[in-house]
Amino acid sequence: MFSEEILKLGTKKSTIREIFEYGKKRASVVGKENIFDFSIGNPNVPAPQCVKETILEIVNNEDPTLIHGYTSAQGDDDVRESIAKSLNDRFDTKFTKDNLYMTVGAAASISICLKALTNVGDEYITFAPYFPEYKCFVEGAGGKLIVVPADIETFQINFIEFEKSITEHTKAIIVNSPNNPSGIVYSEETIKKLAKILVEKSKEYNHPIYLISDEPYREIAYDGVKVPYLTKYYNNTFVCYSYSKSLSLPGERIGYIVVPSEMEDFNLAYAAICGGGRVLGYVNAPSLFQKVVGKCATATADISIYETNRNLLYEGLTKLGYKCVKPGGAFYLFPQSLEADAKEFCKKAREKYDLLLVPGDDFGCPGHFRLSYCVQTEQIERAMPLFEKLAKDYLK
């Protein structure tokens, strides 16, 4: 007999995947150019030249038994040192290789942290709108996910609801900024307030409440907005990073966890991360791509196209009457749907206009829909008249 819970996860696709698959099928009928797919967050900008050059240089010049061989479970020493240095240069931190654990993208980073932390009865809090996979990751580790409702005016943290949801069972808070799906970047004020509450509540319940910072979109921020580096505000922070978006390498599955030395019982915390990686089989992230990101630690793909797309979509849609909080980063827009039921709204957009949008319900925020704009700018330009027709169906 299989595990019922796990079987359910394997059988039912996520809504995003279902819409994406629908688009592929529909494209075979009406042609790819007539489908306006804003469903999935697959970067459409190529990895930077540095990635290609580094791969070739490594493959042509280095010992193949080392390129493809095992590294230390927590990752190659030189790679971790190089990433630590790049973080220190950018964020004025003091990391060394001993603060880093190389992983297989952000999904693995989060799962390892949860595995390292969870005891029976533990609860994790996150803020709507949130990345739906958190529920799988938390429940997979044996924890319970508590979702704080969104502040839909700003998509910053709804602190009144947050404080009500913290209990003696709270093990950690999962934050994601720049955010998928709202695109919002948490301000420094938000982070300071969050850190203050966590310090107070850790004291009250006499155990640390950790922060898990899921930040695959860190570098994708616009208008010079600063994305605060959370270990500088709260010592008990695990940073879960991925190169999927910043270097456009989602298929290569590479990222890392930072465990800052200031964390309470640092040595035990780092050992627990190693244990989490071991139990989940996430030891030794892919060797070749460890080396690549070690050498391209300061590079990013050309993310300027995302800003162009954000401006076009945000300005275009708000002019048409859609209501939306202006995103400061990532590559998502999260407007209000034009009818209360976002699922019905997205169904209409899909079936009448071939606009593939994702309802906010799965992100814990009904009445909204997500547009992923890591697409060709020309797709947005051609989609605008359809968004106009869709708006006219409602805003007569």
Smallest gap, in angstroms, from Cβ of residue 168 to ligand PLP? 28
166 contact partners, CB below 8 Å, separation of at least 6: 125, 197, 201, 209
**255 makes contact with ligand PLP (CB under 6 A):** yes
**329 makes contact with ligand PLP (CB under 6 A):** no
Smallest gap, in angstroms, from Cβ of residue 243 to ligand PLP? 7
Residues 224-253 that bind ligand PLP (CB under 6 A): 242, 244, 250
**149 makes contact with ligand PLP (CB under 6 A):** no
**87 makes contact with ligand PLP (CB under 6 A):** no
> In the complex with ligand PLP, which residue's Cβ is closer, 293 or 390?
293
Q: Which of 38, 101, 127, 131 binds ligand PLP (CB under 6 A)?
A: 131
Q: State which amino acid sits at residue 101.
A: Y
Burial of 160 from C-beta contacts in 10 A (0-12 / 13-18 / 19+): exposed
Distance CA(369)–CA(366), nearest Å, equals 8
Smallest gap, in angstroms, from Cβ of residue 317 to ligand PLP? 21
Distance CA(134)–CA(136), nearest Å, equals 5
Smallest gap, in angstroms, from Cβ of residue 135 to ligand PLP? 12
The strand pair at 100-103 and 255-258 is best described as antiparallel
Cα R_g (the chain), whole angstroms: 21
Contact mark string toward ligand PLP, 31..70, x via CB under 6 A? ----------x-----------------------------
> In the complex with ligand PLP, which residue's Cβ is closer, 202 or 328?
328
**180 makes contact with ligand PLP (CB under 6 A):** yes
Instruction: Show the beta-strand stretches assigned E in the chain.
Output: 36-37, 100-103, 123-127, 144-148, 170-176, 210-214, 237-242, 255-258, 332-333, 355-356, 358-359, 369-372
Region of 52-60, 102-110, 138-146, 271-279 interacting with ligand PLP (CB under 6 A) = 102-110
180 contact partners, CB below 8 Å, separation of at least 6: 41, 131, 217, 330, 332
Name the site residues for ligand PLP (rule: CB under 6 A).
41, 105-107, 131, 176, 180, 214, 216, 242, 244, 250, 255
